[in-house]
Amino acid sequence: MRNAVSVQDGPGQEPPVNWCPSGDSRRPEAIVLGVRSGESGEVAYLDAPIPAAEVLPVIPEGIAPDRVLRFASHCVAECANRIGEACGLIDRIRTVPAAPDGPAASAVPRCHLRPRCKWWNQVGVDACHRCPAVVTRVDPGDELGVLVADPTTTPEQLAEWITAEEQPAPAS
């Protein structure tokens, strides 16, 4: 892992590019944003980005890279989560109430991606509070996670599902 990369602009560089903090590791510009840790799989952010192309070859066969790492890549127009210029994924994530003791209750994590992060630029600090808990690989048994990950789900549909789940079951 020799070559750290920069997501900052320099003199004479092209206009800023928004980066997706839930990016595709297979994209040529992809970087490792952090490492998943603990039972919850929250992200521990790296101090400096590392090109995904340098890391992917050393991940043991049979382990999905997004199970152990979190990647960032350019936010692209053809993304299924894109709604106009906005990211629908962060809007869906923000619809889910944050756990009172989860990342949203703690300090904003240090993150090298923030100046170029699509989520930060779209919704601000709330995205940073939610980001460590975001998973790229959703367990099919996690109905709420599946709904959040599905680009066709609207925030309104999520809110309805959450409200229905909070209702007590009818007595038999």
Residue at 71 is within a domain: yes
Contact 23, 67 (CB under 8 A): no
**Res. 67 pLDDT band, cuts 50 70 90:** confident
Residue at 103 is within a domain: yes
Residue at 38 is within a domain: yes
Averaged pLDDT, 66-86: 92
Residue at 106 is within a domain: yes
85 vs 107: which has the higher pLDDT: 85
Q: CA dist 141 to 7, 42, 78, Å?
A: 36, 19, 28
Domain around 55 = 19-166
Using a cut of 0.75, tell me whether the model's pTM lies above it. yes
Averaged pLDDT, 40-65: 91
The pLDDT value recorded for residue 144 is: 87
User: Which amino acid belongs to residue 172?
Assistant: S
Number of structural domains (the chain) is 1
Alpha carbon of residue 76 to chain centroid: 15
- The yes-or-no verdict on residue 69 having pLDDT over 70 is yes
Residue at 76 is within a domain: yes
**Res. 171 pLDDT band, cuts 50 70 90:** low
Output b/e per residue, 25-42; b: 16+ Cβ within 10 A. Answer: bebebbbbbbebeeeebb
DSSP for 110-170? Answer: P-TTGGGBHHHHHHTHHHHHHGGG--SS--TT-HHHHHHH-TT--HHHHHHHHHHHHSPPP
Helices of type H across 12-64: 52-55
Residue at 1 is within a domain: no
Q: Write out pLDDT tens, residues 77-92.
A: 899 999 999 999 999 9
Output the average pLDDT for the chain.
83
Averaged pLDDT, 119-146: 87
Portion of the chain with pLDDT greater than 70, in percent = 83
Residue at 144 is within a domain: yes
Return left, alpha or beta for 149; rule: phi > 0 is left, psi -120 to 50 is alpha, else beta: alpha
Residue at 125 is within a domain: yes
The pLDDT value recorded for residue 87 is: 94
